[in-house]
Amino acid sequence: MSLDPSPRPATPHDDAPSQPDGTPVPRVVPRALRVWAVFLAATAAAGTLAVWRYFVGSTTGQALDQMAFDGATYGRGTLWVVAEPVLDVVSISFVVVGMTVAMGIALVRRRWNLAAQVVVLVVGANLTTQVLKKFVLDRPDLGYDSWGNSLPSGHTTVAASVSVALVLAVPRGARPLVALFGATYTVATGISTLVGQWHRPSDVIAAMLVVLAWGALVCAFSSESALDPLSERPVVLESPRDYQMHSSSTTLAVALLAVVGVAAGAIAGWALLETASIVSGETAARGRSGFIAYVGGAGGVAAVTALVFALLLGLRQGVARPWRRPSRCDGHSQRP
């Protein structure tokens, strides 16, 4: 009769190498990455308030935002054919399904903390958007169209939070591709709200910053069960060189998102300067000023969205990598 104990269930430690005493190698998220994540979350939160303060709380900001809103009438009939189906996807059921899929992926991968992170991200971001819009932030009447505060955009928050949740949940190799698709879908949703004149550009940008804040915050509190599996030798934290954490596919995706962000940001910056000079009276008002502001608003949405996804992809890949501290049994430093 066999006296061997029954096989125990597989755990996240099973893919990790063992120490000489047979215990799993301890894994850790570097403190520097946690600090960076918290700083990023705080910066995004401050950015949300800054966007509201300028584009909603100041006369110049309201004028710029309203010009972009009015400019959405250009080509609206043609663009709405594409934009309406995109916006129709966003609903409460979409949030539930998207969050459930992301949680399911995390649970199948036995990443328990990661499943909780997905819930916190999606619920936290969408609840924050609704509380800010309905109870915290207001829209003073400064002489422009005032139909109540609409910042941040709920539709954009839904699209972005579900997309980021999937980026967090999928395996490491799939994250770059999911981030690119998620950014594309979120940009389409944000710009569609401009096409339909459901939102102003600042509403969409603020929504992206809300999602960035929550995405960075949950990454800051990643535990061992949210880390990627150790299929090869572990990465030992011994020098700043060890923080080189991106695979080539991740580097390519982050670089592509950054290039798109910078290019779209340049268009947005040019349009902002053009429309600002018209508002301030430095140049004569031109009939197509609304169109310029509209293009600039769309560029701003694309720029911020691309940069948010680049930051969160890089951050997730960083905190998910199964770092470990060096121990006395390591001997000489070995890098994979």
pTM: predicted TM-score of the whole model, two decimal places:
0.86
| pLDDT category of residue 216 using cuts at 50, 70 and 90 | very high
Question: According to the model, what pLDDT value does residue 325 have?
Answer: 53
Task: Return phi, psi of residue 263, to 5°.
Answer: -65, -45
Q: How far, in Å, CA of 329 to CA of 234, rounded? A: 13
| DSSP state letter for 24 | B
Which of 83 and 328 is assigned the larger pLDDT? 83
Q: How confident is the model at residue 152 (pLDDT cuts 50, 70, 90)?
A: very high
Q: Can you tell me the mean pLDDT for 134-155?
A: 89
DSSP for residue 162: H
φ, ψ at 269 (rounded to 5°): -65, -40
Which pLDDT value is given to residue 30? Answer: 85
Tokens of 147: 């139909």
What is the residue-averaged pLDDT of the chain?
Answer: 85
Q: For position 329, what pLDDT does the model report?
A: 47
129 confidence band (pLDDT: 50, 70, 90) = very high
Q: What is the pLDDT of residues 40-60, one digit of tens each?
A: 999 999 999 999 999 999 999
Q: What is the rounded radius of gyration, in angstroms, for the C-alpha atoms of the chain? A: 23
pLDDT for the residue numbered 146: 65
Please name the helix (run of DSSP H) or strand (run of DSSP E) that holds residue 236, with its range, or none: strand 235-236
Place of tokens 């061992």: 224
DSSP for 210-237, please give it.
HHHHHHHHHHHT--GGGSPP--SSPEE-
Is the model's pLDDT at 11 over the cut of 70?
A: no
